[in-house]
Structure 1
Amino acid sequence: MAQEPGQISSNGRKVTITAIAQAAGVSVPTVSRVVNGRSDVAPETRAKVEDLLRQHGYRRRTSAPGDRAALLDLVFNDLDSPWAVEIIRGVEDVAHAAGVGTVVSAIHGRAGSARQWMKNLRDRASDGVILVTSVLEPVLHEELRRLNVPIVVVDPAGSPTLEAPTVGATNWAGGMAATEHLLSLGHRRIGFIAGPTRLLCSRARLDGYRAALEGAGIPVDDALIVPGDFYHASGSTGASALLDLRKPPTAVFAASDQMALGAIEALRRRGLRVPEDMSVVGFDDLPEVRWLSPPLTTVRQPLTEMGKVAARTVLRLARGEELDSPRLELATELVVRASTAARA
């Protein structure tokens, strides 16, 4: 059970570990580790915190020895995407090996849910936060900074507004590789179903698509770029819009595997075959896409490894270690399967 941040001092006044952390110039998790007798605190830091605890008469609530588990908070906007499961798997692998628990939360884009999560975070004195969401209000960003809890942002749905180390993938290179693959097969009218424009990863994939076309001397036709949101329905809607053009594309690059699946369904409803009538490329390489008929050509995003790197990074921050770089990008890889073929 997590140590509550507020306890009763010897003079009857409530003292919080947040106040102690601010006075010591350290994070709340560091004070919590000192209070709970954990060894992973530098001696000089421990001495400073213990001195402040004595000055303020802080008395820990009576409890069984070692009752506070080390915890990481992993926060998503939603959990209804298969790539969320891959990130959770990576974080959990590292956390389990380190003897750290993982608290997974979904805030569903609602301010109330985000505020409730923040309250829970304060109560359980988490050792670190991994954010895979872009919808935290500015006031909550400020609260995270005030708590001085180590934070890492994973950027498939990450936010550039919070100053924190980030872990991502080479989205621009992946977008370019997917488009160049279709160009190598002779396709010249290539449709693109984009992700949410507010996300850096979406814009990078679109920029990679544009760069590949420009590199091949093919003008970018904005009519071939349709909006999406990374989910199935928008892939279906986007593919339908492309098929309704006076001159439809011969290939489609969807900025996520789920949108690629929606696009394939739209093509089948029109009686079109993949890849004989239209080639389709996705982005992510979710586990199920290799079992499609035909198996999906896609850009592999190392989601599980991104989760592992994020967990290792936030644990390093919690230990007070310096990072080699505030931004890490893991390589994407084009995986060619049977959903793409030479232009008919």
Structure 2
Amino acid sequence: MARRATVYQVAERAGVSIATVSYTFRQPQRVRPETRELVLQAARALGYVPSGNARGLAKGRSQVLGLYAFDMFLPCDLSAPEVGLDDLVAQELDRLGDVRRFPLYVDEIQRGFELEARRLGRSVMLGSGTSRDSLGSIDLAGSVDGLAIFPGGAARDLLEHVGRGVPVVIFSSPPMHDPLHHITVANESAVRELVDHLVEQHGHRSLAFLGELAAPDIGARFTGFQGALAAHGLPVPEEPFDSTVLTEDSLRTLRAAIASGDVPDALVCATDQLALTVVDLLARHGLRVPEDVAVTGFDGIIAGRLSDPTLTTVRQPFVSMGRLAVRILTDTARGLAHPTSYVLPTRLVIGRSCGCS
């Protein structure tokens, strides 16, 4: 690969100082038009591109925002074997319309993040890694003015470490007493409304919650589930019916209940992705949704709207979450104050999976 042209080479070719080259790209109004044209001609001839990092050092800002995701991929995507390009293209075309894999909620938040960054004239740098890999987020934080993070299982001390260097926004994270910014939704009240619908509109008395409680937003949803059952005078479980993750060996408790013929009347799933997997599992065992079992989700991803039956769920304002994160990061970098926590509203979306027509 050819070496990148430098500011020194441009200055030598144009017969000007390196300061003049720098001003040409950073503050062109300070350079006479004929001199500016000489510099631009030299830059085009050499293929010179100004360094964003260098401009950032000069300004104290990079004009770039980072978006980092820990462990936010589907297991089936991460475990897929490497294939050649022809097979890869054929597989993708065969899966045309498979919205189970894309877009997920992280993709919708990313869209909002990029839209707002574009509106404000900012670039976006993406990064991803596992919760055990701390270097990726630290490296990305060193190249941007602010960083938004899908935390996954990332350690709290890691996030606070990154936050000491640049403004940090964490998605799907409840308010905490720390210097970071948090964006989440009203998880508890949303699930309460969902359970109220199942009990009051459909008369269900046997309800079960499915989902892993490691993520704080899922934990809040389970707390809302417990509170709703208590308000209706129904038995309140101390833990989810099935604390599952989406792997090939998941939903063991539900599988056992299907085998014994003791499936609850309504299954309240922590996410849409889990709810769609549950619908598939029930169908494989001859159980119909919603005739035999009601199933609900949470997130409002496109796949739930296109499934059969359509999914009753709670819709999160994903694009708004992404846009808000950009506003927090840009304002904070400029020294403007922002609340450390935002709890956004949700909306109950009624599909056919609960029994509504």
Question: For the superposition of Structure 1 and Structure 2, which TM-score range results when normalised by the shorter chain?
Answer: 0.7 to 0.9
Match of 2:309 among 294, 309, 320: 294
Q: How many angstroms does 1:328 deviate by?
A: 0.6
1:335 aligns with 2:349: yes
Match of 1:132 in 2: 150
Q: CA deviation at 1:118?
A: 1.4
User: Does 2:162 align with 1:144?
Assistant: yes
How many angstroms does 1:78 deviate by?
3.1
Change (3 A) 1:235 1:263: farther
CA distance in 2, matches of 1:292, 1:63: 48
Residue 115, structure 1, aligned to residue 130, structure 2: no
Closer, same or farther in 2 for the Cα pair 1:234/1:306, shift >3 Å?
farther
In structure 2, how many angstroms separate the alpha carbons of the residues matched to 1:241 and 1:222? 19
Alpha-carbon separation, structure 2, partners of 1:83 and 1:308: 14
- Contact 1:235 1:262 (C-alpha < 8 Å) held by counterparts: no
Equivalent residue runs for 1:138-287 within 5 Å: 140-141=158-159, 143-147=161-165, 149-155=166-172, 163-184=179-200, 185-195=202-212, 197-222=213-238, 225-229=241-245, 231=246, 236-244=251-259, 247-287=262-302
1:93 equivalent to 2:123? Answer no
Paired position in structure 2 for 1:77 = 70
Task: Compute the displacement of 1:65 (Å).
Answer: 8.5
* TM-score (ref. length: structure 1): 0.72
Deviates more, 1:68-77 or 1:240-249: 240-249
Among 313, 323, 327, the residue aligned to 1:312: 327
Residue-by-residue CA offset, 1:69-110 (whole Å, 9 max, x unaligned) = 511111111342511101101101100111111111111223
**2:104 pairs with 1:104:** no
Structure 2 counterpart of 1:339, which letter?
A: S
**Residues 133 and 159 in structure 1, CA contact (< 8 A), matched pair in contact too:** no
Work out the CA distance in 1 between the residues paired with 2:340 and 2:196. 30
Deviation of 1:139 after TM superposition, in Å, equals 5.7
Structure 1's 238 and 306: CA in aligned 2 closer, same or farther, altered over 3 A? farther
Separation in 1 of the partners of 2:237 and 2:161?
44
Instruction: Give the secondary-structure state (helix, strand or coil) at the position aligned to 2:67.
Output: strand
SS state at 1:284 partner: coil
| Secondary structure of the structure 1 residue equivalent to 2:298 | strand
- Cα deviation code 1:205-251 (max 9, x no counterpart): 0011111111011111458622023x375764453244346632111
Unaligned runs of 5+ in 2: 1-24, 28-47, 57-61, 75-103
The one-character-per-residue Cα deviations of 1:240-273 (angstroms, maximum 9, x if unpaired) are 2443466321111101001101111110111011
2:147 touches 2:167 (CA, 8 Å); kept in 1?
A: yes
CA RMSD of aligned residues (A): 2.8
| 1:129-186 deviations in Å (ceiling 9; x for gaps) | 1111144446634542442x11111126x79585311111010011111211111211
List gaps (5 residues or longer) in structure 1: 1-35, 39-61
User: Could you tell me how far apart the structure 2 residues matched to 1:178 and 1:251 are?
Assistant: 11
| Alpha carbons 1:253, 1:280 under 8 Å: kept | yes
* Paired residues of 2:183 and 2:343 also in contact (CA < 8 A): yes
Q: Judge conservation of contact 2:189–2:224 (CA < 8 Å) in 1.
A: yes
Larger Rg: 2
Q: Cα–Cα, structure 1 residues 178 and 237, in superposed 2: closer, same or farther, change >3 Å?
A: farther
Residue identity in the other structure for 2:180: A
Shift of 1:291: 0.8
Deviations along 1:42-73, one digit per CA (max 9) or x if unpaired, are: xxxxxxxxxxxxxxxxxxxx984975551111
Q: Which amino acid aligns with 1:97?
A: R
Query: Could you tell me how far apart the structure 2 residues matched to 1:285 and 1:234 are?
Result: 25
Q: Distance in 2 between matches of 1:285 and 1:235?
A: 22
